[in-house]
Amino acid sequence: MRKKIIVGNWKMNMTTMETKSFLEMLKVSISVQNAEVLICPSFTSIGAAVNVLQDTNISVGAQNISSEERGSYTGEVSIEMLKEIGVAHSIIGHSERRKFFFETDEIVNKKAKLALENGVIPIICVGEDIKERKSNKHIEFVESQIRKALADLNIMKIEDIIIAYEPVWAIGTGETATLDQIEEMCSYIRYFIAQIVGVSISEKIRILYGGSVNKENVTSIVNMNNIDGVLVGGASLKPEFVDMVKQVEK
C-alpha cells in the first residue's frame, strides 16, 4: 500500500514569524496518523519549522537543493546544510524553477541523484504547458521529462522517489486538470517508470498531483487509482490546509 502524502509548497511566502504561527496552529489542529504531511517553507524558515514541529508527525522539506555538493557557488544551499537542520525531502525541478531559473532536465536529474545518494527523498516535478496540451503532445512531453529525470538513478533507492505531476497551466491559475486528465497522465507516468525500473518498483513509487488543489477538490483527486497525494501551493498557506490534511488522512 502506498501511503498518501500531502505536501505544502510555500514558495516565496511566509517569514519566519509567520511560519511559526501558522505551524503552531497546524500542529494543534491535526493529528497525523494515516498519511504523511510535509511542509516546504523557504530556506530561512526551515529551522524554525523543524523546531515547532519536532514533537509531531509533520515533516519539513526544502523547495530546492543545489546541484553541487559544496564549493564556490554563491547563493546556493547544499544538501548537507539542509540535512543538518532536519530536512529529509526536497522538491526538485518545480516548473517555476525550470521557467525562471532555467533548470533543465539534466540539472533536475543531477539534483535527484544527489538527493538519493544523500538519503533525501526527491519530489520530482513534471508537467506540460498549455501549448503541449493543446497540440496533444503532453504525454510524450512528460514521458521525456520522466526518462531524463530518472536516468541512471540508483536502482536500490529509486522506490523512495516521489513524482509530482503538475500541469503548468493549472498552477496558481484556479484551473484544475479534470480527474480524467489527471488519472490518464499519472497512469502513463507509472507505466513509463515501469519501463525504466520494472513493474514491481513502479507500483511502490508515489505519484502526486499538483495545480490548484483546494479543499473542494482534494478528496476526489486523492481517491483516483494512480494518485498517492497532492502538492499544494496557494491553499497550503491558508487555514483551509487543515481541512485538506484531514481529508487526505481519511
Q: Which residues bind ligand PGA (CB under 6 A)?
A: 9, 166, 171-172, 210-213, 231-235
Cβ 184 to ligand PGA, closest distance in Å? 19
Which of 36, 94, 103, 132 is labelled catalytic? 94
Which of 36, 103, 128, 166 is labelled catalytic? 166
Q: How far apart are CA 70 and CA 77, in angstroms?
A: 9
Helix (H) or strand (E) holding 190: helix 179-197
Nearer to ligand PGA by C-beta: 197 or 213?
A: 213
∠ CA(53), CA(125), CA(109), 5° rounding? Answer: 105
Cβ 174 to ligand PGA, closest distance in Å? 8
Copy the grid coordinates of residue 27: 500542529
In order of 100, 102, 128, 173, 242, the CA distances from 131 in angstroms are: 18, 18, 8, 16, 35
Minimal CA–CA distance to 54: which of 20, 79, 92, 77? Answer: 20
Q: Which residue is nearest to ligand PGA (CB)?
A: 233
Nearer to ligand PGA by C-beta: 78 or 90?
A: 90
Cβ 125 to ligand PGA, closest distance in Å? 7
89 is an active site residue: no
β-strand pairing of 121-126 with 229-232: unpaired
Nearer to ligand PGA by C-beta: 98 or 138?
A: 98
Cβ 123 to ligand PGA, closest distance in Å? 10
Q: How far apart are CA 58 and CA 26, in angstroms?
A: 9
Nearer to ligand PGA by C-beta: 132 or 166?
A: 166
* Residue numbers annotated as active site: 94, 166
